[in-house]
Amino acid sequence: MLSFTYRLPTTLVFGPGRLSELETTPLLPKGAKALIIIGQSGNILRQGYLARVQGLLGARGVKTTVFDGVRANPRTEDVDAAAAQARSMGAEFIVALGGGSVLDSAKAVCLAATKEAPFWQGFEAKAYEGAQGLPLVAIPTTAGTGSEGNGAALICGAPGKRGFMHPAFFPALAIVDPELTASMPPRLTAITGMDAFFHAVECFLSTARQPMSDMLCLEAAHLVTRFLPQAVDQGDDLNARTALAWASTAAGMALALSSPISQHALEYSFSGSGRGSEHGAGLVVLSRPYFRHLIGLAEAQGCDDILDRLLNLAVAMGFGADADEDGHPFLQALDALLEASGLDTLRAEDMGYAADEIPAYVAAAMQFKDARNFANTPVAMGEADVTAIFEGVFSR
């Protein structure tokens, strides 16, 4: 029997060229002072995106200052520094301009700016229960995390990478302009696109799924498969960029309605380690051994509905639903997508990880055994299974 809750409070403005509406939209949060949060790489400055956003806001009388210290795999100390700056300037709303790390950091800043305590400790102490937070305007410049479409944030701290959820994390306004993603180089395009793809796949398989998330997930999986190779080959193809931007946002919305499964928990062992590896790349190197093992568990545990769902994903990716000697159609479709996107040869060793560290990766992943990632995994998966998956990562 169906039973679910549907809530997506963010107003979404989507389409090429729609960033210009920042100057005129009545949907902008009220206030005359805003903190703009960007990454430390400098790309937002080089592409002229920061100056453009500041100009659009300035034209409507909003004074802005900039925090440019967000790192990849955002750190809790970056959140605290940005929150202190927001309090000091009297910011009335926050603008996140960048990729997923920037958007996730900005979500945390919206809460942290309302308290003096460090964000991580404050969250664990339940200091933000019932807090409103500062309003957030999310302007993504990559197409992968879909963070503009949900109320979750991934932040790294001393214990590792953790997911935080709060109603205040939903942006008040999200402006998704695919033109801003055209500056991504081929490798980043591929990795972020696969991040969106795995969000869709995991949410479609999750036991927390619901009808609306199912529709979004199948749409996103189809669009990534169809348009990611094209965007990797021709970065200025606005049609492909638009399709991927919507796929990313759709999969991000699915994260608000369903949940990721244990593939994400395993990946946090990589991108949460402090070595600077990309989350999407970690998902890629885990994907084939992870889904091979998940399919084996589903067959052994008689989870026919999950095997059917994997067939549905394969069909959405353009593959037939009949298994043959080459294996499950979803695995065939996944192999084809990785090859077409130039990621089929990516290895964990390329990111600085080694087989002799497998026990540490397993231990880090099993810290989430009681969290929603494992709880919503549609098959029973224990430590021995996690070990086997990591061994598969390094046996290719």
* Per-residue model confidence as pLDDT tens digits over 94-141: 999 999 999 999 999 999 999 998 999 999 999 999 999 999 999 999
4 has pLDDT over 90: no
| pLDDT band with cut points at 50, 70 and 90 for residue 16 | very high
Q: pLDDT-derived band of residue 225, with 50, 70 and 90 as boundaries?
A: very high
Residue keyed to tokens 């993504």: 140
Is residue 317 helix, strand or coil? coil
Residue 180 predicted with pLDDT over 90: yes
Residue 302: predicted pLDDT? 98
- What stretches of the chain show up as alpha helix (H) in DSSP? 43-46, 49-58, 76-89, 100-112, 119-124, 186-205, 211-233, 238-257, 262-271, 279-300, 304-316, 329-340, 358-366, 372-375, 383-393
CA dihedral in degrees (19, 25, 30, 35; nearest 10)? 10
Instruction: For 307-355, write each residue's pLDDT tens digit.
Output: 999 999 999 999 986 656 668 999 999 999 999 999 999 999 999 999 9
Mean pLDDT of 42-56: 97
Using CA atoms, how far apart are residues 394 and 396, in angstroms rounded to an integer?
Answer: 6
pTM for this prediction: 0.96
Quote the pLDDT of residue 6.
84
Q: How confident is the model at residue 47 (pLDDT cuts 50, 70, 90)?
A: very high
Span 77-91, average pLDDT: 98
Q: How many CB atoms lie within 10 A of CB 339?
A: 12
256: its two tokens: 């608000």
Q: What's the average model confidence in pLDDT over 47-69? A: 98
**Average pLDDT estimate for 154-158:** 94
**pLDDT digit string, tens, across residues 255-285:** 999 999 999 999 999 998 878 789 999 999 9
Q: Which tokens sit at 257?
A: 């309605």
Beta bridge partners of 175: 13
Amino acid at 96: A
In whole angstroms, what is the distance from residue 108 CA to residue 166 CA? 9
Residue 5 pLDDT class (50, 70, 90 cuts): confident
Percent of the chain clearing pLDDT 90 (strictly above): 93
Q: Which amino acid is at 279?
A: H
**What would the mean pLDDT of 285-307 be, rounded to a whole number?**
98
Q: What angle do CA 154, 77, 159 make, to 5 degrees?
A: 55
pLDDT category of residue 2 using cuts at 50, 70 and 90: confident
Q: 14: helix, coil or strand?
A: strand
Q: What is the pLDDT of residue 324?
A: 62
Question: What is the pLDDT at residue 325?
Answer: 63
pLDDT at position 53: 98
- Give yes or no for residue 205 having a pLDDT over 80: yes
Mean pLDDT over 75-85 rounds to 97
